[in-house]
Structure 1
Amino acid sequence: MTSSDTAPHAHPAPAHDLTGRSVVVTGGNGGIGLGLAHGVARAGARVAIWGRNAAKNETALAELREAGLDATALVVDIQDEEQVCSAFADTVSALGRVDAFFANAGVPGDAVSFVDMTVEQWRSVVSINLDGTFLCLREAARHMVANGGGALVPVSSIMNFYGGARKEHYAASKAGIEALSRALAVELAPQGSG
């Protein structure tokens, strides 16, 4: 074992070789999404991170490039259908194709008692977490079905199973993503996407 094997930020070797593949990660400018972007890029994929915050995108992009990884970033609000469609076209233009799409972007929403939750608070979470995931996966599926397949990877939460006091909007949106994932697997897997 060398000293680099025990470095505090050392990463294990990637389990799969993704050389020549192109991957999109929504919410890829921080947290789990940035971790996913690092992982697929270290495995050889070209990665496009999508996020709403331009400054966070630039910071994440600099971190990926500093690690010698092939990445690009686009500012996208996934609850806006026009932005999703435009960003997907721009991503395909930049990367040539999309082989895998990680629908990771989401918001936790305000922690508020269910009896006090407003429709606006409910919709602000569901619009991003569920509607945004739908829009992203639909565009990715259209591309993949037309181009021989790919992988759709919706990201959910354990709150889907265990609930969360004062987070009913978040839990419901993540349960919706689970149901959407199962339905997509049934419909699209025979076509090579899903």
Structure 2
Amino acid sequence: MQIIKSIQSRIYVIRGERVMLDFDLASLYEVETKVLNQAVKRNILRFPEDFMFQLTKEEWNNLRFQFETSNETTQSSQIVMMNRSQFVTGSQKHRDNLPYAFTEQGVAMLSGVLRSERAINMNIAIMRAFVDVRKILLKQSNINEQILEIKERLGEHDVQLNELYDAMDNMLDEKIAQLKWKDRERIGFKMKE
């Protein structure tokens, strides 16, 4: 389970897609980034643009900035993020080329390109991590729908309560008016008894 959490922390949303970067995949597969990218280039027909794309300079700079400024709440997360930040800004900062991003389908396609036992086992774990992320997002979506429904109900209840308060105010105003009428000072002739 720890490996899946580690993988989930390496899944980013870029261009509206959940992706993993080439250097993260290379470290998980225990190969050099250059070796991973060479294997991909030898099999480039397996990786259309919706499976893999290269980051723009702006995307890469934004991502590096996020790594550097990320503040996690738990100490263990801070250590992981500091290590990732050092990794990204250290060894990856001076790359000659921009990193490649692999979508879930691209990662699945990597299993056919990298055939070591480590790569196969890691690919299975990565696929599980993507599935877990999808489940979390579906649950979050369901929770958001429920919250919206509750807000709508509360809005309806507010309207109904306001109508009730207005009706009660009107009734109280009528009672006060009746009491004032009964207790008013009488005018006219007073007869002695």
In the superposition, the TM-score normalised over structure 2's length comes to: 0.25
Larger relative contact order (Cα-Cα within 8 Å, sequence gap ≥ 6):
2
Q: Normalising by the residue count of structure 1, what TM-score does the alignment of the two structures yield?
A: 0.24
Larger % of helix: which?
A: 2
- Choose between structure 1 and 2: higher strand proportion: 1
